[in-house]
Amino acid sequence: MLDQTAQPARLPNAAGIGYKPQHFTALCDAPSAVSWLEIHAENYMGDGGRPLAQLRHLAQSFPISVHGVGLSIGGEGALDRDHLARLKQLCDWLNPASFSEHLAWSSHDEAFLNDLLPLPYTDATLARVADHIDQVQTTLGRRMLLENPSSYLAFAESTWSEPDFLAEIARRTGCGLLLDVNNVFVSATNLNFSPQGYIDAFPLDPVGEIHLGGHDTQADDHGAPLLIDSHGREVADPVWALLDYTLARSGPRPLLIEWDNDVPDWPVLETEADRARVALQEVPACA
Amino acid sequence: MRVSETEFRAALLDADQPVPTGLHDSAARPAGCRFDVYRNNVAASLTDALHEGFPAISSLLGKTNMDGVAGLFLRAHPPRTPRLMLYGAAFPDFLAGLEQLAHLGYLADVARLELALRHAYHAADATPITPERLGQTAPETLLTARLTLAPALRLLRAPWPIHDIWRYALEPGAPQPRTEPQDMLITRPDFDPAPHLLPPGGAAWIATLQAGQSWSAAEDAARTEAPDFDLTPVLTLLLQGGAITDLIPER
């Protein structure tokens, strides 16, 4: 069993990374710019073995954020009760500093599609997502954070802006928000809006965590840039600038570097985490 | 104009289906290749999961063929849960049913081996008994006792030399596979599953104990298959692999 009394109640306003097993030794060996870790919940839903043993060990030294990628909160159907029960089991065992999921859907008709699929922003979607978040928060017995997506297209039927939609969900359910500034930059480029304008409209008070990640650049059918949220490289400079813009308005928040594909060697990842640490140092405590 | 998740999903897994109308870019033009980002994410991530979960199959087929087989499989058998660590339970039977691969009869059993390794990796932890405990048990007690085996233990029996083929696929310089049928034991001493080739009779011995029967019943089963069955190497594999977790004397 973990010593749950030793767990911090919340994530620190410091730099964290998405944990990859290849960095286990480096994290254990020496202090670094990394103050906390995020795990993908689904990777720790086995019965035992190395993943859970490593997590048990790391949780003694680092606050942990559990980040779900498969709950399909935006799904038209009911939430998968077995999956929700496994999330509860993990959170009860680990007592993480934070639990978060995505404004997206990924399961339909008993198939899990392993991607964060987009939602139309309508009253009907809003009611459904809010119901699902109520169910998650009640089942887990904790407040969750909901993350803004990367968008590659828009729904003609949408009647809400994304910041207003998220603000209303947070208001109705009491959930917090996870603001991914790379997602904001990707969506803003892909759908031709101002990323700063998005941040200005975004409800920053309920933001409990900020994500940063790398993106790839492609082109759409008309030659316009189409950014892909690939999490496979360094955070782009304009995204760092958007982070500074955000932090100046929100004040310090827990910052996470996500690097999930083509995972780099430890020094490269730590350099990214250090850049986040420095960005936080430059923020006045009360923005 | 409303796009249901049913409609979205259908177009996602079938590139021949048109992109649903009602999805567009910022200038209200049809989404076009923007929809392909999702199509690609789904197919590429599940294909990667299959390459990662079945490295020997991927090596035996070659990357291009494996990509093709994975593409067929993920559409016929998308994951049922977000626990991708267990994705591919239907893959061995799927391989066995592919006419194009019928000449590679061993593929399904090699895939079963790789699934078993993955399941062993994620199986529950257990504390093994010490070799001394067996040594201190009187022979007559041992013969009527039953054994509890570790949750990570897996047993595979195949009409093919699966151990040799699996090694040949993954280990540079491994010898050419022999032509004999092979039984395999997977133990997990700490965290890394350890695959072993079993001597004749070994699989029958372990399977009988797995079924909850006694030590002597297991010996009978082993000798039926292999009259000169030698328990020592099998017991050594189990003890070194931490695979015996309890010894229950007959009451």
Give the model's confidence band at A2: pLDDT under 50 very low, under 70 low, under 90 confident, else very high: very low
Residue B180, classified by CB atoms within 10 Å of its CB into exposed (0-12), middle (13-18) or buried (19+), is exposed
Q: How many domains does chain A have?
A: 1
Q: What are the residues facing A256 on neighbouring strands? A: A16, A211
Nearest to A211 by CA among A144, A287, A149, A283: A149
Partner residue facing B78 (CB), from A52, A71, A111:
A111
Distance from CA of A271 to the nearest CA of B (A): 27
Task: Indicate which CATH number applies to the domain containing A197.
Answer: 3.20.20.150
ipTM of this predicted structure: 0.94
Residue A276, in any domain of the structure: yes
Give the model's confidence band at B249: pLDDT under 50 very low, under 70 low, under 90 confident, else very high: very high
On the question of pLDDT at A56 being above 50, the answer is yes
Spatial separation of the C-alpha atoms in residues B197 and A65, rounded to whole Å = 42
Distance from CA of B96 to the nearest CA of A (A): 23
Q: Answer yes or no: do B2 and A120 touch at CB < 8 A.
A: yes
Distance from CA of B131 to the nearest CA of A (A): 22
CA–CA–CA angle B78, B82, B83 (5° rounding): 105
pTM of the model as a whole: 0.95
Give the model's confidence band at A10: pLDDT under 50 very low, under 70 low, under 90 confident, else very high: confident
On the question of pLDDT at B88 being above 50, the answer is yes
Distance from CA of B222 to the nearest CA of A (A): 31
Domain ranges of chain B: 1-104, 124-251
Q: B interface mutation test: which of A24, A56, A86, A155 has the most B CBs within 10 A?
A: A155
Residues of A in Cβ contact (< 8 Å) with B3 = 120, 155, 157
Q: Is the dihedral of CA B72, A42, A58, A18 positive or negative?
A: positive
On the question of pLDDT at A270 being above 50, the answer is yes
**Distances in whole angstroms, Cα of residue A227 to Cα of each of A102, A235, A246, B25, B33:** 19, 13, 20, 13, 12
Partner residue facing B35 (CB), from A49, A153, A224:
A153
What are the pLDDT digits (tens) for A68-114? Answer: 999 999 999 999 999 999 999 999 999 999 999 999 999 998 899 99
**Distances in whole angstroms, Cα of residue A10 to Cα of each of A63, A209, A249, A256:** 8, 10, 21, 14
What are the pLDDT digits (tens) for A114-169? Answer: 999 999 999 999 999 999 999 999 999 999 999 999 999 999 999 999 999 999 99
Nearest to B155 by CA among B96, B234, B213, B226: B234
On the question of pLDDT at A4 being above 80, the answer is no
Nearest to B28 by CA among A245, A76, A69, A153: A153
Which residues are within 8 A (CB) of A30 and not within 5 positions of it... i.e. 6 or more apart?
none
Residue A263, in any domain of the structure: yes
Six-digit token string for B12? 């996602």
Residues of A in Cβ contact (< 8 Å) with B78 = 111-113
Question: Does A223 contact B at CB distance below 8 Å?
Answer: no
Question: Does A274 contact B at CB distance below 8 Å?
Answer: no
Answer whether B218's CB lies under 8 Å from B142's CB.
Answer: no
**Domain assignment of residue A34, given as a range:** 11-281
Count the helices and strands in chain A (H runs, E runs): 9, 13
Residue B199 has what DSSP assignment? P
SS3 letters for B44-113? Answer: HHHHHHHHHHCHHHHHHHCHHHHHHHHHHHHHHCCCCCCCHHHCCCCHHHHHHHCHHHCCCCCHHHHHHH
Q: What does pLDDT average to over chain B?
A: 96
Residue A6, in any domain of the structure: no
Q: Find the Cα–Cα–Cα–Cα dihedral B220, B222, B226, B232, rounded to 10°.
A: -110
Give the model's confidence band at A173: pLDDT under 50 very low, under 70 low, under 90 confident, else very high: very high
Spatial separation of the C-alpha atoms in residues A199 and A180, rounded to whole Å = 11
Question: Strands A105-108, B154-158: parallel, antiparallel or unpaired by DSSP?
Answer: unpaired
Give the model's confidence band at A9: pLDDT under 50 very low, under 70 low, under 90 confident, else very high: low
Six-digit token string for A10? 């919340």
What are the pLDDT digits (tens) for B26-40? Answer: 999 999 999 999 999
Six-digit token string for A38? 């995020």
Give the model's confidence band at A286: pLDDT under 50 very low, under 70 low, under 90 confident, else very high: low
